Amino acid sequence: MGNASAEKRYTPLVILALVGALVATLGFWARDRAAENQGSNHAAVGATGEHYQWKMITTWPKNFPGLGFAAENFSRAVEEMSNGRLTVHVYGAGEIVPALEVFDAVSQGVVDAGHGAAYYWKGKVPASVFFTSVPFGLNAQEMNGWLHYGGGLELWQEAYAPYNLVPMAGGSTGVQMAGWFNREINSIEDLKGLKMRIPGLAGEVFAAAGGTAVTIAGGELYTSMQTGVIDALEWVGPYNDKSLGFHEVAKYYYYPGWHEPGSILEFIVNKDSLEALPTDLQAIVKYASRAISQDMLDEYTARNNAALESLIEEGVQLRRLPDDVLLALWQGSQVVMQKLVASDPMAAKVYESYRKFYKGARNYHHISEQAYINSRDKVLGDGDY
């Protein structure tokens, strides 16, 4: 009787203890599962072979304002959107290869991706100039329209396919400035004998006008101008140009940017590297590049005017190129364009697409963008909004 009574007394306690132990065990299990799912993302994807690491090289110095920020922003966007499954380490010009060897390094698989400007590769791919900018050509808004809705991107991909590269728009500066000069330009004669950093088709136009065109990486421009290696240079516009200090080595700042009215930059990706990614990560790369491309144009639009006002306050002399100089440069650009088209079948194919889109965009912008800006200037004059 005594043992049975004791057994009855302790049975509830034993049951409670067992239930408590079970609850505790389940709690520890749930905590471990939560930690595994939430705190060990990178370890988990690594264990399943789904964590990818890329190297991206650029034609710009590391963290260079505007142009260089695009690669860094792309890296951050890709990592955030992929939840860490794809990370992109960015290297500036010269850290792995020199600035103007980016195309070859990505093509050969030395690295996975690159960021630069397509017209740097004109010697390898003559048609590449169309995918940055051509003299008196499409502006930034029109370039984006041609690339993404006018067949331009598909032609770009076709031009780069023999090099195992997949190109994507990687930024836009908008209309650039004509550049920095160490003397005034009052006529086309003033260009003769002038040594200027100016790449792409515009460099050929400049050379045809009697000057000497050279291609120099951005990080070398200040010293080249300071030491007299060159007499003039074009880079981008006030935001970038001020950060490089060009106003310290040149007095005259000319506009408009006849040579680069809507410059598009590029992300180039090694095709094998891209195809090694799962389809969702490939899509992330694609849409991240598109977003970063627009972001750069937004930044330049926001920052250029303040930078220009600051430059003028510091004594820079802002000048407009004379109409007869612009006309001579336009005529020269037509000669150079026809020479390019006649010499390269791919360039001829791209030109036909570009020219057709150009005509339509120009016609519509006569009654839309251009008409609006002309009307705005007429009603506002020099007054404020």
* Residue pair 369/141 in contact by the 8 Å Cβ criterion: yes
Q: Name residues of the chain where pLDDT drops below 50.
A: 1-48
Count how many Cα atoms sit within 13 Å of the Cα of residue 161 in the half-sphere of its side chain.
8
| Beta strands 263-270 and 232-233, pairing class | unpaired
pLDDT in the model for residue 269: 98
Q: CA triplet 331, 139, 342: central angle to 5 degrees?
A: 45
- Find all residues with CB under 8 Å of 97, minimum gap 6, and list them: 57, 104, 105, 110
DSSP 16-82: HHHHHHHHHHHHHHHHHHHHHHHT-HHHHHHHTT--EEEEEEESS-TT-TTHHHHHHHHHHHHHHHT
pLDDT value at residue 11: 41
What does the angle CA 176 – CA 306 – CA 258 come to, to the nearest 5 degrees?
Answer: 15
**Rounded to a whole number, what is the largest CA-CA distance in the chain?**
124
Tokens of 15: 């049951």
270 bridge partner residues: 165
Backbone φ and ψ of 147, nearest 5°: -65, -50
Which distant-in-sequence residues (6+ apart) come within 8 Å of 136 by Cβ? 258, 261, 330, 333
pLDDT score, position 49: 53
| Beta bridge mates, 317 | 252
Residue pLDDT, tens place only, 162-214: 999 999 999 999 999 999 999 999 999 999 999 999 998 999 999 999 999 99
Closest CA to 200 of 133, 140, 115, 136: 133
pTM: 0.85
E strands present in the chain: 52-58, 86-91, 113-116, 165-174, 179-181, 195-197, 212-214, 232-233, 252-255, 263-270, 317-320
**What's the pLDDT tens digit per position in 214-261?**
988 888 999 999 999 999 999 999 999 999 999 999 999 999 999 999
Domains of the chain (ranges, CATH numbers): 49-172+263-299 (3.40.190.170)
Whose tokens are 């195992």? That residue is 164
